[in-house]
Structure 1
């Protein structure tokens, strides 16, 4: 089975970007019957890690691994810093104590905004970017990938590039219209939202890919 790990924006964020897409030249092209392969609203997601093909009997291992990753995300290893308060009685005068600190992370707050393209010609893909606490999203992605590696599970090693795919028009949209859409997306800013859960999905390939939700963990 073909698996990936994702974040899903809430309905208000999806409604906003769908409305924006409908106002683009690519939306008008779709209304005119041109197959620009707009992503169905129900499939819009942000990929955190792509596993690809995984044997069915390894699904329990995948779920255990992602549960461990989320736990590690919530409770990263304690770090140490020098205390800035007065020394305790057990400390020598003039010395600074080192205190162990453990951060409990909360759901990163994100926002769809900006955009761009991947590929050229018939491989063109149109996407909207991620803004907000993107550094936290990168740390989450790194944690997930580290645990996948520990479990000897497959995943795409390419760097995480947070985005949400809007369409795969290929060369079916003229260059001027595509350039206009890219300029419009560059100024787009959607509503802010907390990424509240990490989701394990199964994808089924085809002209209209479909996804099955297999499991989820709160962030």
Structure 2
């Protein structure tokens, strides 16, 4: 099964961001029939670690690792990090262009949690993505189907965006099933 560890923003933050995304050029392109691949607001999340394919018999190991990471984080921190979605940018170019929203607030705590999760996965000899952690929330995959000037304009428009603050209250283990419409299933969660 394909897994990742994430934090889900609360509905108020998702609703606020959804309203902002609706004003972007990529949203207008999508509405006019361009295959922009806007992210589904129900799937808006902050990935802390992409675990990848894990055999069913190792699921308990993943759950144990994430539970220990969440407990260690709570012991060190004592309270949930306060975050907000704001600003933005883009990754990649051409076909692999991604438009994203930045994460503001207590990002040092978020990075510490990501390190705890990834270190635990490494110690348990579980797969995980070793790319450097960059807190962000993907909002669209315009690829090369939208004029680069429009993507730059959207990125610039996001610079002034600041969503409502919220506590990152839980670490969530998610199963991702790829297909014509990706499906995310919440498997377990631990309080932060």
Q: Which runs of 5 or more residues in structure 1 are unaligned? A: 77-103
Match of 2:161 among 184, 188, 197: 188
Q: Which runs of 5 or more residues in structure 2 are unaligned? A: none
Alignment of 1:40-55 (within 5 A): 40-55=40-55
Counterpart position of 1:157: 130
Give the C-alpha shift of residue 33 in structure 1.
Answer: 1.3
Match of 1:127 among 97, 100, 108: 100
Q: Deviations over 1:166-209 (max 9, x none)?
A: 01110111122111101101111111000000000000112321
Counterpart position of 2:31: 31
Alignment of 1:108-123 (within 5 A): 108-123=81-96
Give the C-alpha shift of residue 14 in structure 1.
Answer: 0.2
Alignment of 1:56-135 (within 5 A): 56-76=56-76, 104-135=77-108
The count of residues paired between Structure 1 and Structure 2 equals 192
**Structure number with higher helix proportion:** 2
Greater Rg by CA: 1
Structure-2-length-normalised TM-score: 0.97
**Local SS of the residue matching 2:164:** strand
Structure-1-length-normalised TM-score: 0.86
Q: CA RMSD in A?
A: 0.9
Counterpart position of 1:15: 15
